[in-house]
Amino acid sequence: MALLIKNGEIITAGERYKADIWCENETITRIDKSIPASAGAEVIDAEGKYIFPGFIDPHVHIYLPFMGTFAKDTHETASKAALIGGTTTFIEMICPARTDDPLQAFELWLGKAQGQSACDFTFHMGVTRYDDKAEKEFMEIVKRGVSSFKIFLAYKGALGVTDEELYQTLRLARKLGVITTAHCENADLVLKLQQQLLAEGKVGPEWHHESRPPIVEAEGVHHLMTFAKLLGAHVYIVHTSCEEALREAIKGKLAGVNVWVETLIQYLLLDKTHAELPAFEGAKFVMSPPLRDKRNQEVFWNGLRDGLVSTLATDHAPFDFATQKRMGEKDFTKIPNGIPSLEDRVNLFYTHGVNRGRIDLHRFVDAASTQAARLFGLFPRKGAIQPGSDADLVVYDPAYRGNLSVKTQAMNVDYNPFEGMAIEGRPSVVTVRGEVAVRDGRFVGKPGRGKFLQREPNHF
Q: Yes or no: say if 416 and 405 are a contact pair by the CB < 8 Å rule.
A: yes
User: Which spans in 114-262 are helix H?
Assistant: 132-143, 163-176, 187-199, 208-211, 214-231, 243-254
Q: Is 61 in the site for ligand URP (CB under 6 A)?
A: yes
Q: Choose the binding region for Zn ion from 6-14, 67-75, 210-218, 312-320 (rule: CB under 5 A).
A: 312-320
Residue at 233: amino acid letter = A
> Residue 26 to residues 381, 388, 392: CA-CA distances in angstroms?
11, 9, 9
Q: Yes or no: say if 9 and 440 are a contact pair by the CB < 8 Å rule.
A: no
Query: What DSSP designation does 160 have?
Result: P
Q: Is 315 in the site for ligand URP (CB under 6 A)?
A: yes
CB atoms within 10 A of CB 188: 11
Q: Is 317 in the site for ligand URP (CB under 6 A)?
A: yes
Residue 264 or 304 with smaller CB distance to ligand URP: 264
The distance of Cα 143 from the centroid of its chain, to the nearest Å, equals 23
What's the min distance (Å) between Cβ of 177 and ligand URP? Answer: 24
What's the min distance (Å) between Cβ of 412 and ligand URP? Answer: 16
The site partner of 287 among ligand URP, Zn ion, none (C-beta below 5 to 8 Å per kind) is ligand URP
The site partner of 337 among Zn ion, ligand URP, none (C-beta below 5 to 8 Å per kind) is ligand URP
What's the min distance (Å) between Cβ of 170 and ligand URP? Answer: 19
Q: Which helix (H) or strand (E) holds 82?
A: helix 75-84
What's the min distance (Å) between Cβ of 154 and Zn ion? Answer: 7
Size of site (CB under 6 A) for ligand URP: 9
* Interacting residue with ligand URP among 60, 94, 283, 287 (CB under 6 A): 287
Residue 75 or 239 with smaller CB distance to ligand URP: 239
Calpha distance 116→108 (Å, rounded): 13
Calpha distance 427→49 (Å, rounded): 9
At residue 375, what are phi and psi to the nearest 5 degrees? -65, -30
Calpha distance 143→132 (Å, rounded): 17
Contacts to ligand URP from residues 321-350, by CB under 6 A: 337-338
The site partner of 209 among Zn ion, ligand URP, none (C-beta below 5 to 8 Å per kind) is none
CB atoms within 10 A of CB 322: 8
The site partner of 338 among ligand URP, Zn ion, none (C-beta below 5 to 8 Å per kind) is ligand URP
Residue 97 or 255 with smaller CB distance to ligand URP: 97
Q: Yes or no: say if 284 and 206 are a contact pair by the CB < 8 Å rule.
A: no
Residue 51 or 93 with smaller CB distance to ligand URP: 93
Site string for Zn ion, 404-443 (x = CB under 5 A): ----------------------------------------
Q: Yes or no: say if 346 and 86 are a contact pair by the CB < 8 Å rule.
A: yes
Site string for ligand URP, 214-243 (x = CB under 6 A): -------------------------x----
> Residue 159 to residues 64, 85, 97, 130, 440: CA-CA distances in angstroms?
12, 30, 7, 12, 40
* Interacting residue with Zn ion among 72, 129, 183, 272 (CB under 5 A): 183
Cβ-closest residue to ligand URP?
Answer: 337
Question: DSSP assignment of 199-238, as one string?
Answer: HTT--SGGGHHHHS-HHHHHHHHHHHHHHHHHHT--EEE-
Q: Is 325 in the site for Zn ion (CB under 5 A)?
A: no
Q: Is 87 in the site for ligand URP (CB under 6 A)?
A: no
Q: Is 213 in the site for ligand URP (CB under 6 A)?
A: no
> Which residues face 394 on adjacent strands?
52, 430
Site string for ligand URP, 155-184 (x = CB under 6 A): ----------------------------x-
- The site for ligand URP (CB under 6 A) is made up of 61, 183, 239, 287-288, 315, 317, 337-338
- The site for Zn ion (CB under 5 A) is made up of 183, 315
